[in-house]
Amino acid sequence: MRNANVLGISRGTPIQGGATASPAMQVPDSAPTTMDRKFARLALRLANSPPIALVLWDGQELAPAGKSPVARLRLNTRAALYGMLRNPELHFGDAYSTGQIDIEGDFLEALEAVYRAIHARESDRYASALRWLRSYRQKNNTILKARENIHHHYDISTDFYRLWLDQAGMQYTCAYYPAENLTLEQAQIAKMNHVARKLMLKPGETVVEAGSGWGGLALHLARRFGVRVRSYNISGEQVKFARQRLKQTEVAGLVEYVEDDYRNISGEYDAFVSVGMLEHVGPDHYREMGRVIDRCLKPQGRGLVHSIGRNRQQQMNAWIERRIFPGAHPPTLREMMQIFEPSELSVLDVENLRLHYSRTLTAWLDRFEANLDAVRSMYDEAFARAWRLYLVGSIAAFNVGALQLFQVVFTRATNNNLPCSRMHIYRDHP
Amino acid sequence: MRNANVLGISRGTPIQGGATASPAMQVPDSAPTTMDRKFARLALRLANSPPIALVLWDGQELAPAGKSPVARLRLNTRAALYGMLRNPELHFGDAYSTGQIDIEGDFLEALEAVYRAIHARESDRYASALRWLRSYRQKNNTILKARENIHHHYDISTDFYRLWLDQAGMQYTCAYYPAENLTLEQAQIAKMNHVARKLMLKPGETVVEAGSGWGGLALHLARRFGVRVRSYNISGEQVKFARQRLKQTEVAGLVEYVEDDYRNISGEYDAFVSVGMLEHVGPDHYREMGRVIDRCLKPQGRGLVHSIGRNRQQQMNAWIERRIFPGAHPPTLREMMQIFEPSELSVLDVENLRLHYSRTLTAWLDRFEANLDAVRSMYDEAFARAWRLYLVGSIAAFNVGALQLFQVVFTRATNNNLPCSRMHIYRDHP
């Protein structure tokens, strides 16, 4: 139980029952009252009545009216029920993590059903007005704050991510599955090649990367496409890992990992690339990011931004925002355009890879579950359950269309050195 | 000289001199004064000093300081000079059309130079503020107004467009040149196939088209891809032409041309397509257009919108807006998203075909110039000059990056029946 409570989940109410819960048993709550049952039914109605049965802490089952339930949500304590009513998104995540809530049945199907129900409710006018109000909530990713947010997530431990990411590149971003039966490793390589082809990289060109991750993309671009890459990242642990791995390669002279904020990028480059960093930038800083790109792109330079996105403006799920990705915001294309339009960068190509992220996450989840004992011994049961919820919940969100994955290619408005089609991306395609 | 003055150009000051000008000669203006010369220099400075020499009506030449001029702009009357100062965009177009202004040298190069100079000036803060203010100018394309605007342009005469559009499909929209050495006819067919492949059309599916033009796309989709098409258009002359041509084909039962506004589309379809109509819709109506699409698209339906666009918000050139395309507005991608986001349509693919429009317009211009005598005899010299300016000016705008051409593919947020790559677009590519 090293690094326990790394996600900051409150353990106020101890874990109860269930095969996967903590061994510390407590005195059970008194039997549910009529009032408890009324509030349990209210909780279902507030979630727009998904096809989920609620099981109370004494075993009583409340089935949804007129629907055959796809799963059972077991509330193991009274506190779990009232927490859900107070703050459903945040509390569900925490209560599942700590074992106050269990899901019986297909976890993914259950979360998809809840997403669909909530989503249908959110389409009404009242919810739109609420969303609009909430969208004015300040999110200020100053350089210092950005550092804290990133440390929260990425400094957990490289060993943990190594358990379930691809072995080749340690890519913690959406892979690309242009054909059936690709392994995660193949799909991550396909993604990096897809990015490189969209950028039309030529040997000897220079690339700047905003957000290195563990350095896999920079390394691959140097090795496979013969470019020089300078890659910026504010996660010290990731930079350390990336530098260590780089030393053992034949392209050590072509890649430089810089532990610094992308806003401090200097120099001019043939290409700008950022894969899976924009989610952490925050819309208030998109113009600033555009100015950084404008400053560092050569006259015929190309750029690519790859990010989780939305079809319409929406707040991040409160639990994921609090426990997993502080400061994260998946933008709509309309929001993303604030990067490009003020600096008059010209968008050449946008591709939505939504279902590729569902496949990627499924591959991660399979490896995660296969290594569950190792995860538990690194952290604790609550951490393991939280991470499972995050992975399954993300698959559900991509499957039901609540999240998107956008790759946007751009160049300067005045660059006429453009290919006559996108065929160059597909010539060597599977 | 049938249909003279169809563009509504004021002939207040008669045409002077020059090989292409009207034969009606007038008493020349008195020699330029010191004041005239000062204002001529001011006119150049206001245009941010492009590399253009001004030639006054007595032959005096004012060269730009420190630049070798790419062309000479001949002001044939005093009125031409002062008109340019009062309202440069609108007056330049009218004065060129009526022969008060001539261009000596490469017309395209001259217009590109002017565009670049003005564009550099517009990037400053003062111009940004002006643009922002002007963007609030009301443009209300009610159904009645839309009809008037479209009549202005498209009811000119089918015989006129037939002189310079492709013979196969009469496509008055950007063609697609995925390879070198395509003829205009081949490139227009390539465009229609590109659109059909992006829409993943299968035989027997139903398509609704917003804006038929002369009906070429609907006809091609039925013939080549075996789909049923219902196509809406408010230009009576175009619908008449399209119906006439359809009768002579083997797919007369598959296509229906409806003389009505796209907002009156009824029924449900497997695909929605709109090529070159959005320019006439106006941003105030994008949400409404989204609701029309949302109403008419089946659960697994796909859609494509093809439109001239911008990298950043900007008013239409005043002369083109007044004389050629009343009510037209080329949107930014950010503006276009107002179609999709409120109705939660999911953008799958955006492609920018900017330089393809430059090639298309060049092909049109070549045919236009080859048929100049026919144009003159249909209308008059001012019409012919106006149209030349419009074609050359549009080539310049696409070449310097002031205009874009966006194709946006979308579907419903919940449609998971998506291909695993865009390879299907490129399998049969040249």
Q: What are the tens digits of pLDDT across the range B53-104? A: 999 999 999 988 887 899 999 999 999 999 988 888 888 998 999 999 999 9
- B309-351 pLDDT, tens digit each: 999 988 778 888 888 888 789 999 999 999 999 999 999 999 9
When pLDDT is cut at 50, 70 and 90, the band that residue B430 belongs to is low
Rg of the Cα atoms in chain B: 23
Partner A, chain B 144-163, Cβ-Cβ below 8 Å: none
Contact B337 A337 (CB under 8 A): yes
The backbone torsions φ and ψ at residue B366, rounded to the nearest 5 degrees and listed phi first, read -60, -45
**Which of B294, B301, B299, B402 lies closest to B344 in space, CA to CA?**
B294
Q: Which of B124, B293, B310, B352 to mutate to test the interface with A (most CBs of A within 10 A)?
A: B352
- pLDDT value for B301: 98
Give the CA count within 13 Å in the CB-facing half-sphere of B169. Answer: 26
Mean pLDDT, range A133-160, rounded to an integer:
60
| Residue B168: band (very low, low, confident or very high) from pLDDT cuts 50, 70, 90 | confident
Least CA distance to B349: which residue of chain A? A351
Q: pLDDT (tens digit, 9 = 90+) per residue, B294-309?
A: 999 999 999 999 999 9
Instruction: Say whether residue A124 is in contact with chain B using an 8 A CB cutoff.
Output: no
The pLDDT, as a whole number, for residue B348 is 98
pLDDT for B137 equals 44
Written in H, E and C, the secondary structure of chain A is CCCCCCCCCCCCCCCCCCCCCCCCCCCCCCCCCHHHHHHHHHHHHHCCCCCEEEECCCCCEECCCCCCCCEEEEECCHHHHHHHHHCHHHHHHHHHHCCCEEEEECHHHHHHHHHHHHHHHHCCHHHHHHHHHHCCCCCCCCHHHHHHHHHHHHCCCHHHHHCCCCCCCCCCCCCCCCCCCCCHHHHHHHHHHHHHHHCCCCCCCEEEEECCCCCHHHHHHHHHHCCEEEEEECCHHHHHHHHHHHHCCCCCCCEEEEECCHHHCCCCEEEEEEECCHHHCCHHHHHHHHHHHHHHEEEEEEEEEEEEEECCCCCCCHHHHHHHCCCCCCCEHHHHHHHHCCCCEEEEEEEECHHHHHHHHHHHHHHHHHCHHHHHHHCCHHHHHHHHHHHHHHHHHHHCCCCEEEEEEEEECCCCCCCCCCHHHHCCCC
CA angle (A299 as vertex; A294, A302 as ends), nearest 5: 70
Distances (CA, A) of B303 to B197, B278, B300, B330, B341: 11, 13, 10, 19, 14
pLDDT reported for residue A157: 85
Q: Are strands A269-275 and A297-309 parallel, antiparallel or unpaired?
A: parallel
Report the alpha-carbon distance of residue B236 to residue B304 in Å, rounded.
24
The pLDDT of residue B25 is 52
Averaged pLDDT of chain B: 88
| Residues A19 and A13 sit within 8 Å (Cβ to Cβ) | no
Q: What is the pLDDT of residue B153?
A: 55
Closest chain B residue to A347, measured at CA: B352
B180/A420 Cβ within 8 A: yes
**Residue A156 reports pLDDT greater than 50:** yes
Is A400's Cβ below 8 Å from some Cβ in B? yes
Confidence band, pLDDT 50/70/90 cuts, at residue A375? very high
- Looking at domain B34-123, its CATH architecture is 2-Layer Sandwich (3.30)
A48-56 own/partner pairs: CB under 8 Å, 24+ apart: A48/A117, A48/A118, A48/A120, A48/A121, A49/A117, A50/A113, A50/A114, A50/A116, A50/A117, A50/A118, A51/A113, A52/A110, A52/A113, A52/A114, A55/A104, A56/A32, A56/A81
Which residues fall within 8 angstroms of residue A290, CB to CB, at 6 or more apart? Answer: A338, A339, A340, A341, A342, A343, A345
Query: With 70 as the cut, is the pLDDT of residue B161 above it?
Result: yes
Tell whether B181 is within 8 A of chain A (Cβ). no
CB contacts, 8 Å: B413 with chain A: 311, 401-402
Domain locations along chain A? 34-123, 143-426
Judged by a CB distance cut-off of 8 A, whether residue A174 touches chain B is no
**CA-based radius of gyration for chain A:** 23
pLDDT at B37 over 60: yes
**Residue found by looking up tokens 């008419």 in the block:** B296
Q: What is the pLDDT of residues A346-366, one digit of tens each?
A: 999 999 999 999 999 999 999
Q: Per residue in B130-139, pLDDT tens?
A: 555 544 444 4
pLDDT tops 80 at residue A429: no
Phi-psi region of B21 (alpha: psi -120 to 50; beta: other; left: phi over 0): beta
Contact B312 A178 (CB under 8 A): no
| CB neighbours of residue A266 within 10 Å | 11
Local structure of B53: helix, strand or coil: strand
- Residues paired with B357 in a beta bridge: none
For residue B239, give the nearest of B213, B219, B265 by alpha carbon: B213
Pick the closest to residue B282 from B321, B312, B319, B318 (CA basis): B321
Any bridge partners for residue B258, and if so which? B232
| Residue A135 in this model has a pLDDT that exceeds 50 | no
Percentage of residues in chain B having pLDDT higher than 90: 70
Lowest mean pLDDT among A36-40, A297-301, B426-430: B426-430
For residue B256, what is the enclosing H or E element?
Answer: strand B255-259
Using pLDDT thresholds of 50, 70 and 90, give the confidence band for residue A124. low
Q: Do B421 and A178 touch (CB under 8 A)?
A: yes
Q: Is B106 in a helix, a strand, or coil?
A: coil
- Report the pLDDT value the prediction gives residue B88, as an integer from 0 to 100: 84
What global pTM score does this model have?
Answer: 0.90
Query: Best interface-test mutation with B: which of A414, A421, A424 has the largest number of B CBs within 10 A?
Result: A421
Contact A343, A294 (CB under 8 A): yes
What distance in Å separates the CA atoms of residue B107 and residue B221, rounded to the nearest whole number?
Answer: 38
CB atoms inside a 10 Å sphere around CB B182:
19
The pair of three-digit structure tokens given for residue B309, joined into one six-digit string: 């666009």
B127 touches A at CB < 8 Å: no
User: Please, is A185 exposed, middle or buried when counting C-beta atoms within 10 Å of its C-beta (0-12, 13-18, 19+)?
Assistant: middle
Pairing relationship of beta strands B52-55 and B101-105 according to DSSP bridges? unpaired
Helix A184-198 with A216-225: angle, nearest 10 deg: 70
The architecture in CATH of the region A143-426 reads 3-Layer(aba) Sandwich (3.40)
Question: A34 Cβ partners below 8 Å, 6+ apart?
Answer: none
Structure confidence by residue, pLDDT tens digits, A28-43: 889 999 999 999 999 9
- Please list, residue by residue across B24-46, b when 16 or more beta carbons sit within 10 angstroms of its beta carbon and e when fewer do: eeeeebeebeeebeebbeebbee
User: Cβ distance B399 to B333 under 8 Å?
Assistant: no
Q: Which of A124-128, B46-50, B182-186 has the highest mean pLDDT?
A: B182-186
- Give the C-alpha separation, B101 to B376, whole Å: 18
Residue B354: its chain A contacts at CB < 8 A? 346, 418
For the segment B140-167, the average pLDDT, to the nearest whole number, is: 72
What is the C-alpha separation between A78 and A195, in angstroms, rounded?
50
The DSSP secondary-structure symbol of B262 reads G
**Selection from A159, A400, A229 nearest residue B415 by Cα:** A400
Segment among A23-27, A118-122, B186-190 with least mean pLDDT: A23-27
CB A93 within 8 A of CB A386: yes
pLDDT of A402 strictly over 50 = yes
Q: Which of A180, A338, A420 sits opposite B177 (nearest CB)?
A: A420
Distance CA B231, CA B83 (A): 43
The most confident of A20-34, A40-54, B207-221, by mean pLDDT: B207-221
Report the percent of chain A where pLDDT is more than 90.
70
User: Which pLDDT value is given to residue A420?
Assistant: 96
Q: What's the rounded mean pLDDT across residues A328-336?
A: 95
| Residue B26 pLDDT level (bands cut at 50, 70, 90) | low
Mean of per-residue pLDDT scores for chain A: 88
Could you read off the pLDDT of B396-422 as tens digits, one per residue? 999 999 999 999 999 999 999 999 999
CB A26 within 8 Å of CB A16: yes
| B222, B285 contact by CB (below 8 A) | no
Q: What is the pLDDT of residue B428?
A: 75
The phi and psi torsions of B193 (rounded to 5 degrees) equal -65, -40
Q: Using the beta-carbon criterion (under 8 Å), do B311 and A413 form an inter-chain contact?
A: yes
What would the 3-class secondary structure string for B281-342 be?
CCHHHHHHHHHHHHHHEEEEEEEEEEEEEECCCCCCCHHHHHHHCCCCCCCEHHHHHHHHCC
Residue B208 phi/psi, 5-degree rounding, is -115, 135
User: What's at A139, amino acid-wise?
Assistant: K
Cα–Cα distance for residue pair B85/A191, rounded to 1 Å = 54
Q: How confident is the model at residue A128 (pLDDT cuts 50, 70, 90)?
A: low
Most confident of A142-156, B1-15, B133-147, B240-254: B240-254
Chain B residue with minimum CA distance to A429: B423
User: Looking at the predicted structure, is the pLDDT value of residue A22 above 80?
Assistant: no
Q: Judge contact between A371 and A164, C-beta under 8 A.
A: yes
pLDDT band, very low/low/confident/very high, at A169 (cuts 50, 70, 90): confident
Q: How far apart are CA B206 and CA A238, in angstroms?
A: 52
Specify the amino acid at residue B224: R
Given a cut of 90, whether residue A105 has pLDDT beyond it is yes
Q: Provide the 10 A C-beta neighbour count for residue A248.
A: 7
Contact between B38 and B81 (Cβ < 8 Å): no
Residue B353 to chain A, least CA–CA distance (Å) = 8
Confidence of residue B22 (pLDDT cuts 50, 70, 90): very low
Token pair for A409? 């290619």
Which pLDDT value is given to residue A315? 77
**Between B155 and A285, residue with greater pLDDT:** A285
B120-124, B206-210, B337-341: range with lowest mean pLDDT: B120-124
Tokens of B127: 């111009």
Q: Tell me the β-bridge partners of A271.
A: A207, A302
Segment A367-390 shows an average pLDDT of: 94
Provide the pLDDT for residue A101: 95
Please answer whether residues A415 and A299 qualify as being in contact, where contact means their C-beta atoms are separated by less than 8 angstroms.
Answer: yes
- DSSP designation for B140: -
- pLDDT, average across residues B265-288: 96
pLDDT (0 to 100) of residue A119:
79
Residue A18 has pLDDT above 90, yes or no: no
